[in-house]
Chains A and B, each alone.
Chain A
């Protein structure tokens, strides 16, 4: 702003300076020009005067000089020449004849000269005599001196005049224009949009109505216009800033809304992505996955890129071949589904790790064509493999329970039968005894003879009484045996199993030692192979092999030498032993019955029908198994399977897990 104020002042002085310079320059030029013209004219007049004098000399003096020369009157000539010399501007006179100097007057000058020559010819009797030549030299110095003097006078006077005039003009200009300009400049310098309406007033007297007034009026008019324009601009500015503020508010609102929208979108995306199952859009008309959340990576191990890349090949590649038709039917049903219908299905998919996962999908129509047929479906799928597995486990356990139940019923049934059997005998023979005694007493009471009495009593005793008592005692013993057998089995069921590595070679050798006497007695031959170690309860497995060897000896063939062969093989998940005999063998129809409790194929043979039941029970507890290969007369092979190391450690972990689970449930 300061600069703006200063600049007009400077400009003003610059204008004055420029004006003075121009006036001086211009008037100097005029002076020079007019001086040059005047000097030129003076010079010409002087030269004309000199020539006029030369002409006078020629006209007035030349005749007399010729006569004087003719008369050879040198003195006169000299006087004459000096007389001429007295004329203004004459410098030098000389008369020469050929190159012979005759006479001269004055000083020959060196510069600014004008030379004239007149031949001196004397005419006598029409004869011309050349007497010589008169050289007149006029000096121009006087001319020049005068010219210079004049020039100086003119220049000085003109310069003074010019200066004065210039000064005057400058003063005049200042008085009339300059100061007003300065006022205007200052006014303009101080001018801003606030004082635009205070008019410019010049301090001038009287009413002039000249250019300055016009300028002032125009200026004031302009100011007023500016003012109104300014006001307008200001108003517009205010409006602009208001609308700007509004715009900013609007932008802020919009940004807020956008952020909220983004947050909402992010939230929704997170909801979809963190949904526990697979959320997907599937095109059933093109058989193509349109969208799926990251659940597919979680559940099936495939990246979303892979899913997108596979596209149509997704289902054929990872769907279980057996579930194709079912899924096709499901999609077909969806084609005609109404809005709001939820159709569900189950199918198996191959996980990226190669395992099958069972998925449960709920689908709804998502996009329809013009005719209303469903093109795309939206659905969620969850992994129900664990549930299916659990259900399968439950089914398996149920089957096992049913089996156990059946077995228990069988035991109860068998026990009730077999336990009642001796009771029936006791009751029956008890009654028989009563009847015998009744009869005996009846007969005795009628007998008087002692001898006869004794004989009758003895007869009763030896036949009926003894028999009945024998049956009663036998039955009581049998009940006792059965009960102790049941007790043994039940105790076995409750006994804790203590699994450790067993050296089977040592164990079986020890068992054989206990049978040593019977083996020797029967002349039996035992072929004991190298047996792999196994994991199990030593006492229980000892019982298993004792029973098997006992059976092999007991059911030996009457016509054949008894040969017992014991072998074993360790597999990855189980260790299998075989006890083979050359005995009587068992018909196939009895193969399952022989393991039942109290089951005896031959009642004449000693035993209680528990040996194989106990073996089976023990192996059940080991999660192993026993089976038989046999035919009548062809010997028998009993295969004992005990879980191998891998399976044992697996089950151990499972047990631990179950233990842990039950603890944490508590």
Chain B
């Protein structure tokens, strides 16, 4: 996995975030991980409206929770996918329900994968690794101006 890549986690539940991070680390992923508490925080980071903002030249993978305070995950996904630059960023939805309507909605909005919590962490890590490896092989120095990668 490209060491330049940063894993973004948007998750309001501290416990969930801890579990995700533990499992990623346990699986040997050493990438930088950034944690955001709600939809608003992650959007401000991505759209560079806060002090903590994404950098050019880095590639990102977003693990997005659906139910968050202020702005929920679906809205965050919609805004990311309607931005010409950000829409190439791979997004994995992490959520507690497997409501088919919601799954469908997220796929329509353009998420790259949808994983239901409680997390089968082996499967989860596998997905992240696969996706990350896929992104790494493509040698994406920046998410700007590169064709969409779609892993379904």
Which A residues contact B (CB, under 8 angstroms)?
A: 413-414, 416-418, 420-425, 427-429, 431-432, 467, 471, 474-475, 590, 599-603
B79 CB within 8 Å of chain A: no
Q: Which of B8-16, B53-61, B142-150 has 4 or more CB atoms under 8 Å from chain A?
A: B8-16
Asked if residues A413 and B97 are in contact (CB atoms below 8 Å), the reply is yes
Asked if residues B69 and A416 are in contact (CB atoms below 8 Å), the reply is no
Asked if residues B96 and A467 are in contact (CB atoms below 8 Å), the reply is no
Q: Which residues of B contact A602 (CB under 8 A)?
A: 69-70
User: Which bracket fits the contact residues of B?
Assistant: 20 to 34
Chain B proximity of A633: nearest CB distance (Å): 15
Asked if residues B16 and A424 are in contact (CB atoms below 8 Å), the reply is yes
Contact among B69, B96, B99 with A424 in the assembled complex (CB-CB below 8 Å): B96
Report the separation of the CA atoms of residues A474 and B117 in the bound assembly, to the nearest whole angstrom: 18
Asked if residues B67 and A425 are in contact (CB atoms below 8 Å), the reply is no
Contact among A416, A418, A475, A599 with B15 in the assembled complex (CB-CB below 8 Å): A475
Q: Which residues of A contact B117 (CB under 8 A)?
A: 420-421, 424
Which B residues contact A (CB, under 8 angstroms)?
A: 12-16, 18-19, 22, 37-38, 66-67, 69-70, 95-97, 99, 117-119, 121
Contact among B12, B15, B96 with A429 in the assembled complex (CB-CB below 8 Å): B15
Report the separation of the CA atoms of residues A518 and B14 in the bound assembly, to the nearest whole angstrom: 29
Given A421-B96, A427-B118, A432 and B19 contact (CB-CB distance below 8 Å) = yes
Contact among B18, B67, B69 with A421 in the assembled complex (CB-CB below 8 Å): B67
Asked if residues A416 and B97 are in contact (CB atoms below 8 Å), the reply is yes
Contact among B15, B16, B67, B95 with A474 in the assembled complex (CB-CB below 8 Å): B15
The 3 A-B pairs with the shortest beta carbon distances in the complex, nearest first, are: A425-B15, A420-B96, A428-B19
Q: Which residues of B contact A422 (CB under 8 A)?
A: 15
Q: Which residues of B contact A418 (CB under 8 A)?
A: 67
Contact among B13, B69, B99 with A601 in the assembled complex (CB-CB below 8 Å): B69
Contact sample, A vs B, 5 pairs, CB 8 Å cutoff: A416-B96, A417-B96, A421-B16, A425-B13, A471-B15
Contact among B13, B18, B37, B67 with A467 in the assembled complex (CB-CB below 8 Å): B18
Given A590-B70, A603-B37, A428 and B15 contact (CB-CB distance below 8 Å) = yes
Contact among B19, B66, B95 with A425 in the assembled complex (CB-CB below 8 Å): B19
Q: Which residues of A contact B38 (CB under 8 A)?
A: 603
Chain B proximity of A289: nearest CB distance (Å): 57
Q: A417-B95, A417-B97 are in contact. List 19 more A-B contacts (CB 8 A).
A: A413-B97, A416-B96, A417-B66, A417-B67, A418-B67, A421-B67, A423-B118, A424-B15, A424-B96, A427-B118, A428-B16, A428-B19, A467-B18, A471-B14, A471-B15, A600-B69, A601-B69, A601-B70, A603-B38
Q: Which residues of B contact A467 (CB under 8 A)?
A: 18
Q: Which residues of A contact B18 (CB under 8 A)?
A: 467, 471
